[in-house]
């Protein structure tokens, strides 16, 4: 089957922020996963795990959303500043009712960002907090001159302000963030955003709480009432394998049936329809497409691993999750004109994580390798293509700096697929050809066998008369870069 890539046609820019991450104070996502403290025997720099930091640096995480999630709507930023032995201990009522000692707070968050090279995306507390609380936090972070909060920041050891571009105002306000109606939330958002202080030349990018999945009424009301006052509208969509009901829809991350493989794939592909319909509503109020859709929570959600705290959301990550990640990223690229940011949930030890840790051990998941293989697409120009594709194959293509990158996912369980990509004889050298694949549909890395699934080279391809002919194995992700 032949796909003709329109390499001379101008395409939308694939924002690097589509490769964003999300880390919440949840289970072992922050503590043990990212932050172990300065006195830990685990190698660290200022408390941040060196192995995790290096792994995240390697995939060039562009932006990291924090501190939640639901945790954000019970979080008071003042609890996480100052001497650590004097910080308030609280109960994390959203996730496992465990004690949170607030040793990872604002200063630690920006230290982490500095180490991995990412930009901040802070979710402020609209659920149980106040406008003043939000405004003082922004002042604490960004005020360069003399003020009460800037002076407090300096007292706590940080002289210069940090840069803060992305600010989320409200998280899941339709649910755990306040059980609000869209009309009420929209009016409240308008009030909150008007008190966000602006000390930097670059305007703050304000993200309003958007819909859950296919709640199109929410999008319509928020765009109608609050649209002129927002930059991005968030969307949350999780891949729940077995159906719509949260109580019975997750199932195990491993040991699943072929039927659940296909249900998972079908559920994740639905995000294409959901983005399309929400974008159409946004077009009604924003025909120039100046506002963005921001999918700041997405990924698979399974039952927790046996023997772990149900509130910690710790799950394994298999080749099926690599399929899900690649399918989502391919879809995101297609919507790059409207879609500006996405944040997979979550970075370490929670849900569809990049990395899993156990004591001083760390493993990279199949999802991590997909993000690694797709790096060329960040801030590249989307390349449209036409031609009939096999039913169980998805692809994306982009161009940047004279290079063409093609990424393909074949989620067949048995059959390989031979594909031909035609690109008008403009690219004649293969720069790299990477493959991620597995034999078993629930193959995954463990601490005993950390490299069972890893990137390899693919050799079953050829350049023929200016076309790329490639055989893509079943249960695999492939990325080829050409010049």
pLDDT digit string, tens, across residues 286-311? 999 999 999 999 999 999 999 999 99
Domain with residues 12-381, CATH architecture: Alpha-Beta Barrel (3.20)
CA dihedral of 81, 135, 294, 60, whole degrees rounded to 10: -40
In the set 172, 213, 290, 414, the catalytic residue is 172
Task: Record the tokens describing residue 169, joined without a space.
Answer: 């105002």
pLDDT score recorded for residue 118:
98
Residue 249 has a pLDDT of 60
Q: Span 377-384, mean pLDDT?
A: 98
pTM of the model: 0.96
pLDDT (average), residues 316-334: 98
Cα atoms in the 13 Å half-sphere on the side-chain side of 257: 7
Query: Is 417 one of the catalytic residues?
Result: no
Q: Average per-residue pLDDT in the chain?
A: 96
Mean pLDDT of 176-183: 97
| Residue 129, both tokens | 């907090």
> What's the CATH fold of domain 385-482?
Immunoglobulin-like (2.60.40)
Question: Which residues sit opposite 312 in a β-bridge?
Answer: none
Give 146-175 pLDDT, tens digit per residue. Answer: 999 999 999 999 999 999 999 999 999 999
| 80 CB-side CA count, 13 A | 21
Residue 220 has pLDDT above 60, yes or no: yes
| Contact yes or no for 434/457 (Cβ under 8 A) | yes
Domain with CATH 3.20.20.80 in the chain: 12-381
DSSP state for residue 349 in the 8-state scheme: S
56's tokens: 């995240």
Sign of the CA dihedral with 398 first, then 399, 400, and 404 last: positive
Q: Mean of the pLDDT values across residues 55-70?
A: 98
Q: What is the mean pLDDT of residues 95-109?
A: 96
Q: Among residues of the chain, what percentage have pLDDT more than 70? A: 98
DSSP per-residue codes, 388-399: PPPTTEEEEEEE
- Nearest CA to 408 out of 445, 458, 365, 339 is that of 458
> Looking at the predicted structure, is the pLDDT value of residue 390 above 60?
yes
Of residues 32, 297, 417, 455, which has the active-site annotation?
297
Under a CB-based contact definition with an 8 Å cutoff, are residues 322 and 369 in contact?
A: yes
Question: Omega before 69 cis (within 30°)?
Answer: yes
The stretch 203-229 carries a mean pLDDT of 97
Give mean pLDDT, residues 338-366: 98
Give yes or no: 297 in active site: yes
Residue 109 contacts residue 48 (beta carbons within 8 Å): no
Is-cis flag, bond preceding 346, omega within 30? yes
The predicted pLDDT at position 244 comes to 57
């Amino acid at each position: 089957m032949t796909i003709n890539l329109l390499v001379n046609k101008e395409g939308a820019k694939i924002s690097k922020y589509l490769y964003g991450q999300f880390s919440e104070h949840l289970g072992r996502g922050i503590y043990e996963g990212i932050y172990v403290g300065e006195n830990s025997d685990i190698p660290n720099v200022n408390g941040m795990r060196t192995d995790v930091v290096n792994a995240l640096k390697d995939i060039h995480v562009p932006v990291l959303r924090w501190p939640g999630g639901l945790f954000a709507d019970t979080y008071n930023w003042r609890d996480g500043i100052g001497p650590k032995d004097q910080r308030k201990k609280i109960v994390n009522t959203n996730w496992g009712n465990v004690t949170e000692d607030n040793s990872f707070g604002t200063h630690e968050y920006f230290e982490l960002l500095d180490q991995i090279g990412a930009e901040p995306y802070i979710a402020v507390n609209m659920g149980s907090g106040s406008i003043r609380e939000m405004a003082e936090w922004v002042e604490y972070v960004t005020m360069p001159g003399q003020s009460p909060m800037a002076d407090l920041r300096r007292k706590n050891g940080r002289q210069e302000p940090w840069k803060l571009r992305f600010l989320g105002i409200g998280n899941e306000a339709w649910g755990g963030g306040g059980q609000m109606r869209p009309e009420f939330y929209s009016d409240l958002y308008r009030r909150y955003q008007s008190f966000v202080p602006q000390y930097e030349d670059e305007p703050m990018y304000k993200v309003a709480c958007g819909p859950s999945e296919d709640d199109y009424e929410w999008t319509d009301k928020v765009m109608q009432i609050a649209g002129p006052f927002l930059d991005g509208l968030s969307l949350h969509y999780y891949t729940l394998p077995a159906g719509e009901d949260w109580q019975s829809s997750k199932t195990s991350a491993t040991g699943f049936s072929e039927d659940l493989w296909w249900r998972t794939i079908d559920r994740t592909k639905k995000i294409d329809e959901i983005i399309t319909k929400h974008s159409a509503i946004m077009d009604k109020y924003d025909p120039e497409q100046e506002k963005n859709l921001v999918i700041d929570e997405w990924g698979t959600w399974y039952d927790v691993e046996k023997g772990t705290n149900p509130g910690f959301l710790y799950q394994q990550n298999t080749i099926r999750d690599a399929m899900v990640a690649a399918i989502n990223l391919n879809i995101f690229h297609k919507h790059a004109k409207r879609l500006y940011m996405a944040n997979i949930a979550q970075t370490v030890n929670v849900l569809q994580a990049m990395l899993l840790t156990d004591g001083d051990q760390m493993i990279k998941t199949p999802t991590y390798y997909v993000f690694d293989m797709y790096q060329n697409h960040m801030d590249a120009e989307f390349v449209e293509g036409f031609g009939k594709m096999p039913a169980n194959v998805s692809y994306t293509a982009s161009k940047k700096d004279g290079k063409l990158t093609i990424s393909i996912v074949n989620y067949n369980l048995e059959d390989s697929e031979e594909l031909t990509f035609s690109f008008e004889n403009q690219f004649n050298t293969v720069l790299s050809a990477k493959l991620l694949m597995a034999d078993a549909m629930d193959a995954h890395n463990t601490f005993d066998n950390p490299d069972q699934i890893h990137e390899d080279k693919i050799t079953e391809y050829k350049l023929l008369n200016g076309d790329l002919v490639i055989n893509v194995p079943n249960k695999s992700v492939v990325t080829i870069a050409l010049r």
